Amino acid sequence: MLQRTRRRVQTLPLGVRQFLKFATVGAMNTAIDWSLAFFLTYYTPIPRTLGGAFVNLSGAPLRPEAAAVWFAKIISSGTATINSFIWNRRWTFRVRDKQARTRQFAKFVTVNVVGMLLNSTITTLLIRPFLPEPPRIVFMACQATATAIVLFWNFFMNKYWTFKGASGVSIES
């Protein structure tokens, strides 16, 4: 069955295969992002410590709980971004040219840092009415909404800027 599926996928147009691989990597990264953010928020003091320290040291007009959510999302999104670059570079876009890889890495990081900031900010804004103790299902719903919005930013920027015209790109399995 796996071989039959693989043969069918190989007959699809290049752009479709590319999108399917990008979406597969994205699903894996979403799982990493969400599960790590959930774990950090509900089972460790790390985000609360960072959020409280940030508010105290900076004097920012934020509630420490909101800053904690933001830090949890920065850590989890950052981890998922590193994973995403590795998989997209090696599997989805198979860049062979070291110069292209370096340029693409810089572009990829730029796109994903903006996406990470958008995701963290959207999640924080959506969850603010439920602070200081948001129900877990609300936390997950806020992450889902932010992720759905930022998905479009990441896909289109990476497709039309980061990996556009890359030399040495191969989409074979």
CB 88 within 8 A of CB 105: no
Tell me the C-alpha distance between 153 and 128, whole Å: 23
Tell me the C-alpha distance between 10 and 167, whole Å: 21
Check residue 173 and give its pLDDT: 43
Would you call 73 exposed, middle or buried from its count of C-beta atoms within 10 A (0-12, 13-18, 19+)?
buried
pLDDT, tens only, 25-55: 999 999 999 999 999 999 999 999 999 999 9
Q: What is the pTM of this model?
A: 0.74
Check residue 172 and give its pLDDT: 45
CA angle 71, 90, 119 (to 5 degrees): 25
Check residue 56 and give its pLDDT: 93
Domain ranges, ordered by start, for the chain:
12-162
Check residue 171 and give its pLDDT: 43
Would you call 138 exposed, middle or buried from its count of C-beta atoms within 10 A (0-12, 13-18, 19+)?
middle
Distance between start and end Cα atoms, the chain = 16
Residues of the chain with pLDDT under 70: 165-173
Check residue 140 and give its pLDDT: 92
